[in-house]
Amino acid sequence: MSSTVTPPPRKMNRLGLEVLQYKGSKTTLCAGCGHNSVSERIVECFYELGVNPYTVAKFSGIGCSSKSPAYFLGLSHGFNSVHGRMPSIATGALLANATLLGIGVTGDGDTASIGIGQFMHLVRRNLPMIYVIENNGVYGLTKGQFSATADVGSTLKTGVHNELPPFDCCALALKWGATFVARSFSGDKRQLQAILKAAIAHHGLSVIDVISPCVTFNDHEGSTKSYAYMKEHEEVLQELDFVPAFEDITVEIPEGEVLDVQMHDGSHLRIRKLHRDFNPTDRLATLAALEDAEAKEEVLTGVLYVNTSKPTFLELLNLGDAPIATLPESKVRPPKAALDEAMDELR
Ligand SMILES: Cc1ncc(C[n+]2csc(CCOP(=O)(O)OP(=O)(O)O)c2C)c(N)n1
Ligand code: SF4
Ligand SMILES: [Mg+2]
């Protein structure tokens, strides 16, 4: 007697897409590299939230981290730019088409070394996009030299010591007026998922510094960006729960225990304090907490700061919603009279 086996129903998100449609090409990074875990989290979050991949634009600079966009959201737009210059490319693209959801993936070298000036202006402008720094303390792609986020006293495999003070990208972003700042660890799946989802919902720039160990050049004893160091020194600030706008909030929580942040799209980020009194809406207190943690050799992870009220760069420029590429020629090409007038002014 023959029996037919019915395959289990395929899992789909609210757009009717499968997770496969959110993946990219097979990774060419080293096995165990933290960057691979970050790509996996991005795939999961965009799939679970049902973001239309055709409306996403991925940006990066140069580095192992900057290769990552090839490994997620294969159906989305993408631009792998020049070392440290991704913010300019992203700014141009998102000004030309404000309907796109931008996500940039960069490295600590790409952002804190060569790209620090571009990063500064991106933060100052509050360009609405997600900006993920895959922070391993070294230039992985060029064989593991120290980057500007390497801690004083950390050593390379060769025994070379770093004597220069590190840049803390989260503290700098806070100083420069960032509206969403978080730090996570590539090994913390649940925390990184919640942060990425909140960043997708955030209306403004989301800076996410992810400690993402380089297993080939910076995972040894003496490194402060290794899996072992993070296990010892990570101080998780909160328990995070993200409730998307399309789901009902069912769990009632007694007032005062949880900070409920309503995001622009109607979703909720619920932040429950863990061991210490920490308020992620108090910018100055966060800066002090980061200084204090650095002195104690602790790595604070969680949502460090969130501000949902500051206008974005696109709002300040008062740009129309229609992408430039869809505007008729009459709108994008000045008439001859306007050009003649401009020429006359220069005579
Ligand atoms: C203008 C320019 N300068 C230097 C380089 C060489 N270079 C390529 S990647 C890189 C650093 C990458 O480090 P990071 O951004 O931390 O990425 P990781 O490889 O560690 O993920 C450097 C210095 C380059 N490609 N272009
Ligand atoms: S060299 Fe380091 S950063 Fe680059 S892929 Fe390998 S483990 Fe990752
Ligand atoms: Mg790096």
Average per-residue pLDDT for the chain: 95
Does ligand 1 lie within 6 Å of residue 115's CB atom?
A: no
For the segment 119-167, what is each residue's pLDDT rounded down to a tens digit? 999 999 999 999 999 999 999 999 999 999 999 999 998 999 999 999 9
Copy the structure tokens of residue 163. Answer: 């004597």
Q: Which domain holds residue 88?
A: 19-317
* Residue 257 within a domain: yes
* Residue 286 within a domain: yes
Q: How far is CA 268 from CA 180, 208, 246, 311, in A?
A: 14, 18, 11, 19
Does ligand 1 lie within 6 Å of residue 185's CB atom?
A: no
* Residue 193 within a domain: yes
* Residue 1 within a domain: no
Measured in Å, residue 148 CA sits from the centre of ligand 3 at 9
* Most informative mutation of 66, 217, 218 for ligand 2 (most atoms within 8 A of CB): 217
Copy the structure tokens of residue 289. Answer: 């907490």
* Residue 149 within a domain: yes
* Residue 12 within a domain: no
Measured in Å, residue 106 CA sits from the centre of ligand 3 at 8
Does ligand 1 lie within 6 Å of residue 300's CB atom?
A: no
* Residue 327 within a domain: no
Report which of 26, 24, 34 is spatially closest to residue 192, judged by C-alpha positions.
34
For the segment 82-110, what is each residue's pLDDT rounded down to a tens digit? 999 999 999 999 999 999 999 999 999 99
Strand partners, 262: 268
Output the CA torsion sign for 288, 289, 290, 296. positive
Measured in Å, residue 140 CA sits from the centre of ligand 3 at 5
The residue whose CA has the least distance to atom 8 of ligand 2 is 33
Q: How far is CA 227 from CA 33, 187, 220, 251, 334, in A?
A: 10, 8, 9, 34, 57
For the segment 252-275, what is each residue's pLDDT rounded down to a tens digit? 666 667 999 999 999 999 999 987
Question: For the chain, what is the domain count?
Answer: 1
Domain CATH code at residue 293 = 3.40.50.970
* Residue 138 within a domain: yes
Pocket lined around ligand 2, Cβ cut-off 6 Å: 29-30, 33, 35, 64, 136, 140-141, 214-217
Task: Give residue 1's pLDDT band: very low, low, confident or very high (50, 70, 90).
Answer: low
Measured in Å, residue 28 CA sits from the centre of ligand 2 at 10
Alpha helices in the chain (DSSP H): 34-48, 64-67, 86-96, 108, 116-125, 169-175, 189-201, 227-233, 283-295, 313-317, 329-332, 336-346
Task: Give residue 344's pLDDT band: very low, low, confident or very high (50, 70, 90).
Answer: very high
The residue whose CA has the least distance to atom 3 of ligand 1 is 83
| Distance, CA of 133 to CA of 211 (rounded, Å) | 8
Task: List phi, psi (to 5°) of 195.
Answer: -65, -45
The residue whose CA has the least distance to atom 1 of ligand 1 is 83
Are residues 67 and 29 in contact, defined by beta-carbon separation less than 8 angstroms?
yes
Are residues 80 and 104 in contact, defined by beta-carbon separation less than 8 angstroms?
no
Task: Kindly report the pTM of this predicted structure.
Answer: 0.95
Ligand nearest to the CA of 216: 2
